[in-house]
Amino acid sequence: MARKTRAGGEQTRERILEAALPLFARHGYAGTSTRMVAGAADVNVATLAYYFDGKEGLHHAVVQRLHEDLAEQAPSELPALPARELAEWIADRMVAFANAHRVHIKVLIRNVLDSGGHAEVVMDRWTEGLLARGEHLIRLARPE
């Protein structure tokens, strides 16, 4: 049997992620089965397990995508603007990000509502670093 090409593998992985996102948002982690995701992505459950090591790995990959996008789009420096304009600049970027990632945010909110908080791995691996970066930006914005 011919081995899948790397590009084909990435397309399959991406298709699985795209199928899983709305299912996790709608049904939560507990209500979403690997069979549901595999069916929506048109792959078998073994393929899903190969790419993500099961449902937990898939869920982490979905959450990681949001955090990676946020880290990529978060500014490392703030523009030199008066305080009011700076607040508007930050708010505009936050709203644009939230609009572009509505379904990802639903996954996070659903997770908190279903389990009472984020999984420790989510906090350790992604959220803590982003919070530290936000804290740094807030310090930059404070007048001395």
Residues of the chain with pLDDT under 70: 1-7, 117-130, 133-134, 137, 140-144
Quote the pLDDT of residue 41: 96
Q: Does residue 34 lie in a domain region? A: yes
Q: Does residue 11 lie in a domain region? A: yes
Q: Does residue 131 lie in a domain region? A: yes
Q: Does residue 89 lie in a domain region? A: yes
Task: Name the domain count of the chain.
Answer: 1
Quote the pLDDT of residue 69: 81
Quote the pLDDT of residue 132: 72
Sign of CA dihedral 48, 10, 105, 20: negative
Here the tokens at position 52 are: 């993500």
Q: Does residue 1 lie in a domain region? A: no
Q: Does residue 129 lie in a domain region? A: yes
Residue 40's domain comprises 6-141
Whichever domain contains 99, its CATH number is 1.10.357.10
Quote the pLDDT of residue 1: 36
Model confidence, pTM: 0.70
Q: Does residue 51 lie in a domain region? A: yes
Tell me the C-alpha distance between 131 and 20, whole Å.
Answer: 26
Q: Does residue 48 lie in a domain region? A: yes
Tell me the C-alpha distance between 54 and 143, whole Å.
Answer: 48
